[in-house]
Amino acid sequence: MNEEQRSHLLHSSSLFSPPEGVKLSYGTAGFRADASILRSTVYRVGILAALRSFKTQSVVGLMITASHNKVSDNGVKIVDPGGGMLSQEWEPFADQLAIAQTPEALLSLITEFVEKEKIPFDGVLSLVLLGRDTRPSGASLLEAAVEGINSIFGAIALDLGILTTPQLHWMVRARNKGMPATELAYFEQISSSFRCLVDLIPNETERNKTDNTVVVDGADGVGGEKLEVLKSMLTGLVIEVRNTGKGGGLLNDGVGADYVQKEKVAPRGFGSNDVGIRCASLDGDADRLVYFTVPTNSSSKIDLVDGDKILSLFAVFIKEQLSILTKEVKENTNNNSQARLGVVQTAYANGSSTDYLKQLGLEVIFTPTGVKHLHEKAAQFDIGIYFEANGHGTILFSESWLSWLEARNNELSLVSEGSEQQKAALRLLSVSNLINQAVGDALSCLLLVEAILQHKGWSIQKWNELYQDLPSRQLKVKVVDRTAVTTTNAETIAVSPPGIQEAIDAETAKYPKGRCFIRPSGTEDVIRVYAEASTQEAADSLADSVAKIVDRFLGFGSSNQ
């Protein structure tokens, strides 16, 4: 790093002083906080993005969003060249950048990191694609990100405007694969893939059993805005979008997938006229999706169809197509014909969903909470499906198996075009193009759900009857120090403080079908409690009892204070 670059960095960073007394940490969501204190952090993440692009000699992305958080919050995160999240190896450097108190400390940190990582600058291009959601603070924070990127000589910032988070992930991945990486290309790929799946619906399917209309809550965010564009490109599906952000509603306020999934109530703008209709809800940046139906009794909870049920629907469909595809090639010596299909969940997955998936004969793996853990495990399968109950998830197809599938489809088109095997191959190829393999994407998942429901002739009620959820309850307990709790076994067993897991086990044993675990929040000093039991009353009671155990061991009145 030459003297001119060092001088430029010193001057540029002096314009973005970090807020006093604030210590942010880079996690699954990147950095996230009240928007008013984020300009310095976003500027520094711009530097990080430029360095990451130089290091990988690839295009990276930078997204300004706080997803399902309230409108006054915002955040920033990096999209790695493959379309996934920032490499975990770089997260500590991100934390150090954010808390450096002076321009001199920041420069020293960057210089040391560049030397350690041997980041090349000469003869190498750096390109960062930027996107933001519809938050009012987004434009100002994006300017700070551009300043950060431009503070590194040779780095180029390309502002793509207002996007869903999954769109930016998709575009970064596409750009690095040498494919068209525009918003129009994204819309065209998922709409044409949806159309292919609809065209391949078996003739015997009683389509009249499935209403082809879905009403979508856009969370007053970017997803509703983009869905309005996408729906005009679709045939075979009618989408009515509400809460698009144009009616004066506030982003994520009484709307959105997070609100619907956690509160189990209908979002603003949905009521008695929607009873029995298939409804869906996106979150603020459109990377989560849940479905629901409005009950006949306005005072009762909605019938929620969450991420676990979406995962199960996808698993059923893909398993069926694999069975058709391999029906006559079981003697084939090419082992790739027998795809290894796996499902990845977290401990928050409802126990009934896990039992159902295992009964289907599927391999089910558990990971700690966080998309980065789920994504990594899913990538180890030929076809890996992961979802969190909150509605964030996707399907990953390995490159090697997709190559085999394309070759198999070409072979079938020559010897048995129009056969059930070839149709199954085409369906699987269409799913791989429709689903966003970079990250969970509410828009592409919505289209895949709708295509599968039409294919099977299922109503949302039929879909929801795949299995009966065990009643559950989530609570959080404020504590002095959340790091006092450490866990193992995919966060289901508390290792410390000593004795707390034994107390939880003793309480859980009192309830039929009881299951309960605790884990520290990644962002605030709270311990999260999750409980399941045979009845809602029992689940509530178990959660309350375990919350008291947590308070006894770790609360403000405990000896740990």
Beta carbons of 461 and 518 less than 8 angstroms apart: no
Question: In this structure, which amino acid lies at residue 510?
Answer: K
Beta carbons of 522 and 528 less than 8 angstroms apart: no
159 is in an annotated binding site: no
Residue 159, phi then psi, degrees to nearest 5: -80, 115
Exposed/middle/buried for residue 178 (C-beta within 10 Å: 0-12, 13-18, 19+): exposed
408 is in an annotated binding site: no
Interhelix angle for 442-456 vs 183-199, to 10°?
10
545 is in an annotated binding site: no
Beta carbons of 483 and 497 less than 8 angstroms apart: no
355 is in an annotated binding site: no
> What is the C-alpha to C-alpha distance for residues 388 and 439, in angstroms, rounded to an integer?
12
Cα within 13 Å of Cα(232), Cβ side: 5
67 is in an annotated binding site: yes
522 is in an annotated binding site: yes
400 is in an annotated binding site: no
388 is in an annotated binding site: yes
Which contacts of 538-545 are long-range, i.e. CB under 8 A and separated by 24 or more positions? 538/471, 538/511, 538/512, 538/514, 539/470, 539/471, 539/472, 539/473, 539/511, 540/473, 541/511, 542/473, 542/507, 542/508, 542/510, 542/511, 542/514, 542/516, 543/473, 543/474, 543/475, 543/516, 544/475, 545/507
Residues in contact with 117: Cβ distance below 8 Å, sequence separation at least 6, in sequence order: 51, 55
519 is in an annotated binding site: yes
How distant is the alpha carbon of residue 534 from its chain centre?
Answer: 29
278 is in an annotated binding site: no
Q: Which residue has the tokens 């519809």?
A: 134
> What is the C-alpha to C-alpha distance for residues 459 and 500, in angstroms, rounded to an integer?
45
Catalytic residue among 13, 40, 53, 67: 67
Q: Is 207 helix (H, G, I), strand (E, B) or coil?
A: helix
74 is in an annotated binding site: no
For residues 332-355, one letter each, b for 16 or more C-beta atoms within 10 angstroms of the residue's C-beta and e for the rest, the string is eeeebbebebbbbbbbbbbbbbbe
The two structure tokens encoding residue 282? 């996106």
List residues bridging with 106 in a β-sheet. Answer: none
Other CB atoms within a 10 A radius of the CB of residue 328 amount to: 12
> What is the C-alpha to C-alpha distance for residues 493 and 480, in angstroms, rounded to an integer?
21
Assess whether 232 carries a catalytic annotation. no
> What is the C-alpha to C-alpha distance for residues 500 and 455, in angstroms, rounded to an integer?
49
Per the annotation, where are the binding residues? 67, 283, 285, 287, 388-390, 519-523, 528
**Active site residues per annotation:** 67
Per the annotation, where are the binding residues for Mg(2+)? 67, 283, 285, 287
Per the annotation, where are the binding residues for substrate? 388-390, 519-523, 528
